[in-house]
Structure 1
Amino acid sequence: MNRTWWAALGLAATTFLWAANAVVSRGLVGHMPPISLAFWRWTLAGAILIPLTWQSIRSHWSLIRPQLPWLALLAVLSVGAYNSILYMAVQKTTAINTALMNTLIPMTTMLAAWLMLGARPTARQTGGMLLGFVGMIVIVSKANWQVLASLAFNHGDLLMLVAVGCWALYSVLLKKRHLGIPPVTLLAVVVMLGVPMILPFYVWEWSQQGGFAVDLTNLAAIGFTGVFASIVAYLLWNHGVGILGPSAASLFIFLMPVFGALLGVTLLGEALLPYHGIGGVLILAGLVLGVRK
């Protein structure tokens, strides 16, 4: 039980960091192109991880080498695709639409886990997902259903759907195969494989849009996303998936609007309104229901 709750706390921390990551990426629209942020974020993460894990990579090479195709697939879905597509999507769609698209991650992950792992969702997990979904809709819509009725969707939302699919597959494939590689070493290898996949798209973006200003705002964004939203968040997520499984872990995505509201209150001076509380209670109830054995 202690392992379960520590994993749950780690997943909650991950969701908080990703909520902050979404705020940062939207704030950089017009300051830094999306692929540039993805490339330098993961380059920084690799520059930190690889020297720390080099000896471990060498000592575990007999395990790593035969699994390189599998690790490359994990790198494509996570480092290469998910964040790059997400950053492109937030430049083309609204914060509300982005949050709504994120509600599909738990559902997509549960379906993929059922099809690929034979892990049929339990009644608790299904009930937790439904409660979390309702709570997230309450927060995103501000308890006003006309907000949802007036939504318009564009190709940015289609990009978000692709990102959602990539993350669901990554979470399920991470659980499908026991790699036997230490977590930090695994992340370092995935980053090493993923950064070269982003490089051609970064070069193309640079040729089309140019670079970005090397100022305090952009450097701080790269620093935060490279250390906290990449290294810390991914280690916690991978650990949580290993303990709870992809279906239960994915339920924590519903916390993103809760943390987004708290960040808005703390950083932007926004008001904390009753619908925040109602939605937050429903989401927390869904998490407790879906995670407890």
Structure 2
Amino acid sequence: MIPLRAKLTASFYALLSISFWGVSFVSAKAVLAKLDPYSLLVLRFGLGALFLLVILLLNRSRLRISIGYIPHLVVLGMLVAIAGVFLVTTTRSGHSFEFAMNFGFILMILSTLNWAIYSILLKKLHIPYPALLVTFYMSLIGFMLTLPFIIRNKGWESLPMLTETEWAHLLFLAIFVSGIGYWYWGKALEVLDASKVSMFLYLEPLATLIAAIFLLHEKFILISAIGGIIIIIGVVIVNGGLARLVASTIFKK
């Protein structure tokens, strides 16, 4: 049986990932004024993989993996790349954060389903390597699969036009969203069932809404706040043991 504290830590990792991914829409909107969506996707994967490689080298981790697990990593990398394509397609410059029933909203639903499938496969494939190493190879594969986009669009020509603020957004997307976010999601799946971890995906629109209100000064909508509260209640119910652990920790003090 998994200790409750381990479950709480895993849920914290999943919550951090969702927070990063929710804010990513705001950062993407800032960068897409200069970069096309697909070049942004390639740079996210490339810089994210580079960041993870640095962490692995600093930890003196082994980079070698069994050849038998390469197909598993390729499949996972493809799912991550597909999810990225869905997301950059919905976050083009000039779009608002209103979740209307349009093509962009449908793509976001497909992205969520795709990410749920990814989570289930990552859990079921039982790849016997740390989440950090697995995430590095998935990001590297995602980079290689999407590299033709930046070559076709000559996306590197737009990089000199980025301001310091836009570079900060780009690095946030690469390091925290594509690097740490995927890594922490994998760490959560090492402990919790895929079904429980995937429930945190429902918090992503809420994180996006909060970020849009505070960073982009978009209007506060009461019905969105009510929906967010309902989502939080649902996640707490699914992960009920975590609430009991928090309560017991508080009362012990």
TM-score bucket of the superposed structures, by smaller chain: 0.7 to 0.9
**Structure 1 position 221 matched with structure 2 position 221:** no
**Alignment-derived partner of residue 43 in structure 2:** 40
Q: Structure 2-normalised TM-score?
A: 0.81
**Alignment-derived partner of residue 96 in structure 1:** 98
| Structure 2 residue ranges without an equivalent (≥5) | 242-253
Shift of 1:10: 1.6
Which one of the candidate residues 158, 183, 189 is aligned to 1:211? Answer: 158
Over the aligned positions, Cα root-mean-square deviation in angstroms equals 2.6
**Alignment-derived partner of residue 124 in structure 2:** 176
Q: 214-223 or 3-12, which moves further after superposition?
A: 214-223
Q: Tell me: CA distance 1:94–1:247, structure 2 relative to 1, closer, same or farther (3 Å).
A: farther
Determine what percentage of the aligned residue pairs are the same residue.
23
Q: Aligned equivalents of 1:285 and 1:162: distance in 2? A: 24
Q: Aligned equivalents of 1:75 and 1:24: distance in 2? A: 23
Counting matched residue pairs gives 234
Q: Deviations over 1:131-175 (max 9, x none)?
A: xxxxxxxxxxxxxxxxxxxx4523x34543443343122111101
Which one of the candidate residues 6, 26, 29 is aligned to 1:3? Answer: 6
Which one of the candidate residues 193, 206, 213 is aligned to 2:141? Answer: 193
Q: Aligned equivalents of 1:268 and 1:161: distance in 2? A: 23
Q: Tell me: CA distance 1:184–1:258, structure 2 relative to 1, closer, same or farther (3 Å).
A: same
Partner SS, residue 96 of structure 1:
coil
Q: Tell me: CA distance 1:225–1:168, structure 2 relative to 1, closer, same or farther (3 Å).
A: same
**Alignment-derived partner of residue 102 in structure 2:** 153
Q: Aligned equivalents of 1:270 and 1:218: distance in 2? A: 20
Shift of 1:176: 0.8
Q: Tell me: CA distance 1:56–1:12, structure 2 relative to 1, closer, same or farther (3 Å).
A: same
Shift of 1:260: 2.8
Q: Tell me: CA distance 1:233–1:206, structure 2 relative to 1, closer, same or farther (3 Å).
A: same
Partner SS, residue 244 of structure 1:
coil
**Alignment-derived partner of residue 134 in structure 1:** none
Which one of the candidate residues 35, 49, 52 is aligned to 1:49? Answer: 52
Which one of the candidate residues 223, 238, 248 is aligned to 1:290? Answer: 238
Shift of 1:274: 4.8
Q: Aligned equivalents of 2:227 and 2:106: distance in 1? A: 26
Q: Deviations over 1:8-28 (max 9, x none)?
A: 122111111111101111233
Residue identity in the other structure for 1:153: N
Q: Aligned equivalents of 2:193 and 2:92: distance in 1? A: 32
Which one of the candidate residues 182, 199, 202 is aligned to 1:251? Answer: 199
**Alignment-derived partner of residue 64 in structure 1:** 66
Partner SS, residue 15 of structure 2:
helix
Partner SS, residue 32 of structure 2:
coil
Q: Aligned equivalents of 2:212 and 2:54: distance in 1? A: 37
**Alignment-derived partner of residue 86 in structure 1:** 87
* C-alpha contact (below 8 Å) 1:32/1:218 kept by paired residues: no
Q: Aligned equivalents of 1:82 and 1:152: distance in 2? A: 19
Q: Tell me: CA distance 1:223–1:292, structure 2 relative to 1, closer, same or farther (3 Å).
A: same
Which one of the candidate residues 1, 10, 15 is aligned to 1:12? Answer: 15
Q: Runs (4+) of structure 1 moved beyond 6 Å?
A: none
| Structure 1 residue ranges without an equivalent (≥5) | 98-150
Q: Structure 1-normalised TM-score?
A: 0.71
